[in-house]
């Protein structure tokens, strides 16, 4: 368990008859099993050494350690705007002699201001150093701690920011984790929560974990605060809908629901900070979203929420930020327009379910986007509240493309029918179809058209199908182009890099597009592919490849360089024109039926997000 310095009574206790003291944010250090990018936690030179075994920070004489970082800075603007916090103090556990500074750095001009300074001699871990609380109103951006060792063998064990407030709300979190046959991920995350939170007396009545087991493969935990709930596999939408029902109907009277993916990595401190923030909010309808950081590059942020583009779909906010860079950390806290936050970490008030209902039965993809759009609450994101998640390109397949296209058509019909032309709705499925055809990914193109065809069936027909059986059929067909661990053909790095760096001039582009990326060229124009060195045998990226990469080639190996998985496709004129004519036919149907279908999807929204629908859809009544 992580060693942290905290008040001896608890995080929440009464300091006086008028105001209460609250620990709002612990200073945390890197962990071997979570994240070891030290610049996310502290900054220092060679005179700073973190002891992972004893959980202490060793600091040589005259060395300065700064906590102006993603996890350990205090970001004043959000706390001033959305909570009742007006003052903060700092408590540190130190050993040795130190010069301690508290600084404020502005979000825009990055000018540093000294807030407080204190010198301590011969400090010991058993006597925490307290810097009395001060008014945060004059300060914007980040408030942070900096310590300078004045003697040899100085050490730091931790610390926390605290405040005094008039009222601390009784926050009770129902944590919902939806899983499907990912026992290793789930047990690791449950163990983290059990050791760091559920074992502590002050949180026993404030937290409960509901694991919705869509695969029905998990065994129970020996803890009454962890409940395993077997569920019909209706995808993430069905799993999270079941979790919301369980939390909303629970006798404990939870105030908030926290949704989390099963395959994320996180520090338990995230849950504490979230709970502390909610306990002093000044607006009851606030939602809190977690940043997504990359699992392979743990200092890189993939997104901080996003907004919907009716032509391109999900658009991430604060994409690809290096969070070890001070400028990026400050920029990350500048609020931008945000319509949704994905369910890798998303918290909202339980009462919202009564107002707007449960998730739409999308199975997977866009259920979180649609729910955020419908709930229409302010979404707050804070530095330090995050998860690490696998990159989405590693999960791309014809199946995920099917759900992206089908659910995108439904989402646009629900919210953007009148704000976009019929041609923009047509382009939602026609442009991906053409792109996949140009890249010889004929099966993926067929899945796009299947998605459009299912949309045209209307909501009643679409959701009368058994979701588990429908998904199984899709997955079975997609096995043909599924990436295999050892690859289906030899991987040649030289060819892969050639495709990455391939470019063309305007004249070549016109020729390529005019010939439908070679599909109307005679076979004699194509390169030979009998040998691995032939130009007709190409190796391209499985994500982000261009039609140019396959032009005039016969055999293509799509390769994921990170997972070292691949699949092969081959040029087929017959499949190209068969799918192309089918897409034209569906485009005509869409022109004729879209207006009526959009109205039908909108008028049935309440039905398909109601608790009665989900109880029948998940066959809950049969279980009792």
Q: Give the residue among 354, 355, 356, 386 at the shortest CA–CA distance from 371.
A: 356
Q: With cut-offs at 50, 70 and 90, classify the pLDDT of residue 591.
A: very high
Among the residue ranges 192-206, 241-255, 361-375, the one predicted with the least confidence is 192-206
Least trusted range by pLDDT, from 66-70, 97-101, 173-177, 466-470: 466-470
Alpha-carbon torsion angle 597, 598, 604, 605, nearest 10: 150
Mean pLDDT of all residues in 43-51? 92
pLDDT recorded at residue 529: 79
> Residue 508: pLDDT above 50?
yes
Q: 387 - beta bridge partners?
A: 292
Q: Return the pLDDT at 478.
A: 54
Q: Rounded to whole angstroms, how far apart are CA atoms 505 and 385?
A: 46
Instruction: Tell me: pLDDT of 392 over 80.
Output: no
Mean pLDDT for the chain overall: 90
Q: Which are the contacts of 40, defined by CB distance < 8 A and separation ≥ 6? A: 30, 69, 70, 71, 298, 299, 323, 324
Q: Are residues 359 and 487 in the same domain?
A: no
Structure tokens at 595: 């207006």
Q: How far apart are CA 395 and CA 384, in angstroms?
A: 26
Q: What is the pTM assigned to this prediction?
A: 0.90
* CATH number of the structural domain spanning residue 243: 3.90.550.60
Determine the Cα–Cα distance for residues 183 and 177; give it in Å rounded to an integer.
12
Question: What is the model's pLDDT at position 622?
Answer: 60
At 110-131, the pLDDT tens digits run: 788 999 999 999 999 988 888 9
Model confidence at 26: pLDDT above 90: yes
- Are the C-beta atoms of residues 143 and 115 closer than 8 Å to each other? yes
Look at residue 50 and tell me whether its pLDDT is greater than 50.
yes
Cα–chain center distance at 154? 38
Instruction: Answer whether 165's CB lies under 8 Å from 19's CB.
Output: yes
Q: Is residue 520 part of a domain?
A: yes
Per-residue confidence band for 477, with pLDDT thresholds at 50, 70 and 90: low
Region of 316 on the Ramachandran plot (φ > 0 left; ψ -120 to 50 alpha; else beta): beta
Contact yes or no for 583/450 (Cβ under 8 A)? no
Other residues' Cβ atoms within 10 Å of the Cβ of residue 101 = 19
What phi, psi does 353 have (nearest 5°)?
-65, -40
Phi and psi (nearest 5°) for 89?
A: -130, 175
Sign of CA dihedral 277, 370, 240, 622: positive
Q: What is d(CA 307, CA 342) in angstroms, rounded to the nearest whole number?
A: 11
Domain, as residue range, for 418: 398-575
CB 478 within 8 A of CB 398: yes
Domain match, 325 and 223 both: yes
Q: How confident is the model at residue 269 (pLDDT cuts 50, 70, 90)?
A: very high
Whether 621 maps to a domain, the answer reads no
Q: Are residues 432 and 535 in the same domain?
A: yes
> What CA–CA distance (Å, rounded) separates 529 from 538?
9
To the nearest whole percent, how much of the chain has pLDDT over 70?
94
111/86 same-domain check = yes
In a domain, 229, yes or no: yes
> Does residue 143 lie in a domain region?
yes
Task: Choose one of 165, 187, 222: the last residue of a domain.
Answer: 165
Residue 2 has pLDDT above 50, yes or no: no
Q: Which residue's structure tokens are 């900070």? A: 273
In this predicted structure, the answer to whether residue 443 has a pLDDT above a threshold of 80 is: yes
Position 473 scores a pLDDT of: 86
Structure tokens at 459: 């909501």
Residues 483 and 441 in one domain: yes
Least confident interval from 153-157, 270-274, 512-516, 526-530: 526-530
> Binning pLDDT at 50, 70 and 90, where does residue 489 land?
low
Same domain for 375 and 228: yes
Contact 410, 455 (CB under 8 A): yes
Among 137, 165, 193, the domain boundary falls at 165
- The encoded tokens of residue 46 equal 């060679």
Q: pLDDT by residue (tens digit) across 145-161? A: 999 999 998 999 999 99
Kindly state whether residue 146 falls inside one of the protein's structural domains. Answer: yes
pLDDT given at position 479: 41
3-state secondary structure of 318: coil
Q: What mean pLDDT comes out for the span 600-613?
A: 95
- How many domains are contained in the chain? 3
The reply to whether 374 and 485 lie within a common domain is no
Rg (CA), the chain: 27
Boundary of a domain, candidates 394, 424, 451: 394
List, for residues 551-583, the tens digit of each pLDDT value. Answer: 999 999 888 888 788 888 999 999 999 999 999
The strand pairing partners of 87, in sequence order, are 135
Compute the average pLDDT of residues 483-502. Answer: 74
Sign of the torsion angle spanned by Cα atoms 531, 533, 534, 539: positive
What's the pLDDT at 100? Answer: 95
Q: What is the pLDDT of residue 258?
A: 98
Q: Are 345 and 429 members of one domain?
A: no
Position 598 in a domain:
no
What kind and span of H or E run contains 183?
Answer: helix 183-193
- Which pLDDT value is given to residue 222? 86
Q: What is the pLDDT of residue 4?
A: 45
pLDDT score of 9: 37
Residue 7 pLDDT > 50: no
Same domain, 478 and 406: yes
Q: How many CB atoms lie within 10 A of CB 546?
A: 17
Nearest Cα to Cα of residue 22 among 112, 109, 72, 91:
91
**HSE-up of residue 560 (Cα within 13 Å, Cβ side):** 20
- Quick one: average pLDDT of 342-346? 96
DSSP state of 480: G
Question: Does 590 fall in a domain?
Answer: no
In a domain, residue 604? The reply is: no
Instruction: Summarize the confidence of residues 245-265 as an average pLDDT.
Output: 93
Together in a domain, 150 and 239: no
- Shared-domain flag, residues 125 and 74: yes
pLDDT at 373: 95
Whether the predicted pLDDT of 394 surpasses 80: no
Mean pLDDT across the stretch 196-224? 88
Mark whether 260 and 375 lie in a shared domain: yes
297-335 confidence digits (pLDDT tens): 999 999 999 999 988 899 999 999 999 999 999 999 999
Q: What is the domain-level CATH number for residue 156?
A: 2.60.120
């Amino acid at each position: 368990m992580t060693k942290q310095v905290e008040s001896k009574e608890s995080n929440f206790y009464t300091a006086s008859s008028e105001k209460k003291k609250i620990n709002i944010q612990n200073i945390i250090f890197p962990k071997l099993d979570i994240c070891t990018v030290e610049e996310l936690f502290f900054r220092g030179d060679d005179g700073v050494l973190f002891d992972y075994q004893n959980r202490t920070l060793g600091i040589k004489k005259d060395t300065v350690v700064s906590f102006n970082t993603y996890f350990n800075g205090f970001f004043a603007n959000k706390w001033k705007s959305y909570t009742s916090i007006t003052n903060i103090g700092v408590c540190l556990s130190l050993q040795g002699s130190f010069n301690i500074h508290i600084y404020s750095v502005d979000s825009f001009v990055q000018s540093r201001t000294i807030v407080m300074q204190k010198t301590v001699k011969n400090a010991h871990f058993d006597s925490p150093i307290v810097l009395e609380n001060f008014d945060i109103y004059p300060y914007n951006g980040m408030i942070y701690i900096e310590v300078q060792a004045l003697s040899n063998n100085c050490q730091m064990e931790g610390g926390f920011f605290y405040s005094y407030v008039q009222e601390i709300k009784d926050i009770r979190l129902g944590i919902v984790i939806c899983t499907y046959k990912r026992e290793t991920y789930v047990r690791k995350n449950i163990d983290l929560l059990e050791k760091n939170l559920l074992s502590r007396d002050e949180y026993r009545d404030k937290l409960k974990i509901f694991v919705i087991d869509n695969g029905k493969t998990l065994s129970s935990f020996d803890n009454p605060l962890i409940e395993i709930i077997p569920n019909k596999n209706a995808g993430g939408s069905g799993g999270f809908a079941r979790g919301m029902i369980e939390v909303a109907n629970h006798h404990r009277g939870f105030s908030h629901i926290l949704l989390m993916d099963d395959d994320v990595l996180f520090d338990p401190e995230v849950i504490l900070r979230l709970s502390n923030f909610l306990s002093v909010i000044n607006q009851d309808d606030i939602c809190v979203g977690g940043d997504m950081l990359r699992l392979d590059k743990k200092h890189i942020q993939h997104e901080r929420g996003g907004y919907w583009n009716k032509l391109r779909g999900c658009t991430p906010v604060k994409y690809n930020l290096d969070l070890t860079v001070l400028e990026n950390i400050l920029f990350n806290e500048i609020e931008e327009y945000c319509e949704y936050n994905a369910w890798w970490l998303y918290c909202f008030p339980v009462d919202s379910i009564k107002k707007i209902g449960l998730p739409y039965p999308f199975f997977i993809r866009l259920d979180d986007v649609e729910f955020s759009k419908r709930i229409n609450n302010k979404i707050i994101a804070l530095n330090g509240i995050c998860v690490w998640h696998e990159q989405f390109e590693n999960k791309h397949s014809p199946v995920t493309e099917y759900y992206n296209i089908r659910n995108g058509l439904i989402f646009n019909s629900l919210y953007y029918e009148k704000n976009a032309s019929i041609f923009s709705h047509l382009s939602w499925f026609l442009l991906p179809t053409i792109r996949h055809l140009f890249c010889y990914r004929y099966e993926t193109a067929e899945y796009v058209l299947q998605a459009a065809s299912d949309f045209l069936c209307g909501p009643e027909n679409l959701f009368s199908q058994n979701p588990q059986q429908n998904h199984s059929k899709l997955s079975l067909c997609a096995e043909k182009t599924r990436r295999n661990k050892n690859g289906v053909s030899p991987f040649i790095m030289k060819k892969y890099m050639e495709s990455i760096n391939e470019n063309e001039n305007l004249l070549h582009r016109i020729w390529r597009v005019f010939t439908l990326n070679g599909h109307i060229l005679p076979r004699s124009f194509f390169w030979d592919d009998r040998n691995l060195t032939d130009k007709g045998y190409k190796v391209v990226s499985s994500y982000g490849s261009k039609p140019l990469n396959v032009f005039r080639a016969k055999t293509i190996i799509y390769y994921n360089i990170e997972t070292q998985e691949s699949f092969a496709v081959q040029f087929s004129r017959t499949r190209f024109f068969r799918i192309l004519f089918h897409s034209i036919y569906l485009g005509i149907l869409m022109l004729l039926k879209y207006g009526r279908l959009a109205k039908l999807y909108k008028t049935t929204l309440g039905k398909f997000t109601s608790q009665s629908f989900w109880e029948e859809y998940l066959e809950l009544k049969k279980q009792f």
